[in-house]
Amino acid sequence: MQARRAARELALILFSQMDNIQNLNKWDFQDIVLKSVRMLTNSSTDDLKSATASILEMKEFIENYESNHKKNLERPIEVNNIPVPIPLTSDMQNKLDELLNIAEKTMLAIEIAEMVTLEENTDVKDYIIKITNTFKEHKSDIDSQIKKFALGWDINRLVKMDKDILRIAISELLFIKEAPLKVIIDEAVELAKKYSTDDSASFVNGILGKVVIENNLK
């Protein structure tokens, strides 16, 4: 995993925890990053518990399906069941998709935790600090971009997670300028899909597209 991708996710968690990020100083970061990692791994642990319950439910369904299959009902009681074909229902497909999504999120959380806790690797922490300090320095300009393109929306009434995702991405697009535009936008959209509402991904993508055009970014 790239350090910047991990930094964006942790920066989003950091932003969500802080009512006034303007008051942060450099001594706060170590503690806040640690708390952000812990929050991410705790969320993944909860997801894994839910996944385990789903796996057990699927296992029970398969065992019952096998036992009650005509081929096994016709066999003597004292012998073991034989494997039987099982239809892959849409319900089971949905459960499998959910489990795959949880597995991906958990692996991501573990990677981020590992990257942050390796003392010799400061890239993640440095980029979190860069994002946060850039936002602190240019908050009015960044928020004015959101206000300009979020037509019909009061910035103070936007979903906080959407607003924080936009703030991080616009900080990178307009002021940090160290990553390709497509990467910044794509990863902002992925954060919206992961952490916000169903409509957030298209909303975030639309705003950032307008920011790119308005500021003639290439």
Helix (H, G, I), strand (E, B) or coil at 217: coil
Q: How far apart are CA 40 and CA 108, in angstroms?
A: 9
DSSP characters over 29-86: HHHHHHHHHHHHHHHHHHHHHHHHHHHHHHHHHHHHHHHTSHHHHTS-TTSPP-----
Output the tens digit of pLDDT for each of the chain's 218 residues: 477 887 888 888 778 766 566 566 555 666 666 666 676 677 767 777 777 777 788 788 888 888 898 888 888 888 899 988 876 666 677 777 777 777 777 766 666 666 555 444 577 778 888 998 899 899 999 999 999 998 777 667 788 899 999 999 999 999 999 999 999 999 999 999 888 887 899 999 999 999 999 999 98
Residues 62, 66: Cα–Cα separation, whole Å: 6
Tell me the CATH number of domain 3-214, given options 2.60.120.280, 2.40.50.100, 3.10.580.10, 1.10.940.10: 1.10.940.10
